[in-house]
Amino acid sequence: MVVSIACVAGKGGVGKTTTCASLAGAFAERGRRVLAVDMDPQSNLTSGLGFNPYTLQHTVADVLVEPAHSVDEVVASTRWQNLHLLPASPDLSAVEAALPTSLDRELRLREPLQRDCRDYDFVLFDTPPSFGFHTVCVLAAADFVLIPVQMSGYAIKGLKETLRTVHETRQRLNPRLRVLGLLPTFVVPRTRFSRDMLEALSAIPNLRVFETAIKVTVKLQETALAGEPVTAYASSSYAATAYRALADEVLNAVIADAERGD
């Protein structure tokens, strides 16, 4: 069974791309076949996994423009066993305008992935920090949504907007879509603010908050420049250990939701 998870947040700088890359690395090193899909024209996941977005011959835009295009022809193998990438480039920003206006245009990612990606265990999506066409395409294709929540004063407002978009997409395009959980990021445990934010998240009804909380650490900042997931770049670091723990939590959450029939 392929499990597809979208990392979604309406604000940039919350650790969304880092989480997508790190979680992909954690699953891959444990023998899971992973496809990371970059649906952000900023292409940070693509560069974060070691590719130059400006020199790629084929990207996810090819699949969106021509859904009959085989995903296998576009997927790139990374330097790490079991980890593959459906890359993006800045040209992705022009795709929406190039597509014909139709009721199913937001399904142009789902159909090729369902057809061509049955050999993967996990498909992990990175999305833009907005709720436009690219993000809705991902939500229409995903099984689950993982929401990074930065410890900031605007976190709850941003979370409400994300949940509203997920609900609307579930109603309109993807009835199987559900929120897997909230991931606290940029946590400073010694501060009262972070502790209060964690309590506020835990008080939200019917939403799982992962026990793993991603603390502020320079290693995660360095991974973007290194073009490696933190599990490879700093394998014994706190950050790598945290994302491995998150991978365990995600897997257990997927199993629990399946058993409940959610």
Q: Give pLDDT tens digits for 20-71.
A: 999 999 999 999 999 999 999 999 999 999 999 999 999 999 999 987 888 9
Picking from 13-22, 78-87, 95-104, 107-116, which range would have the lowest pLDDT averaged per residue?
A: 95-104
Taking the alpha carbons of 194, 199, 201, 207 in that order, is the dihedral positive or negative?
A: positive
CATH code (residue 233): 3.40.50.300
Which residues pair with residue 124 across a beta bridge? 5, 36
3-class DSSP state of 93 = helix
pLDDT at 204 over 80: yes
Q: Which of the 8 DSSP states describes residue 138?
A: H
The model's confidence at residue 256, banded by pLDDT at 50, 70 and 90, is: confident
Judge residue 148's burial from the number of C-beta atoms within 10 Å of its C-beta, 0-12 exposed, 13-18 middle, 19 or more buried: buried
Please give the residue range of the domain that contains residue 153.
3-260
pLDDT at 103 over 70: no
Identify the CA nearest to 141 among candidates 114, 160, 116: 114
pTM of structure? 0.95
Structure tokens at 105: 């245009």
pLDDT of residue 156: 80
Counting the structural domains of the chain, the total is 1
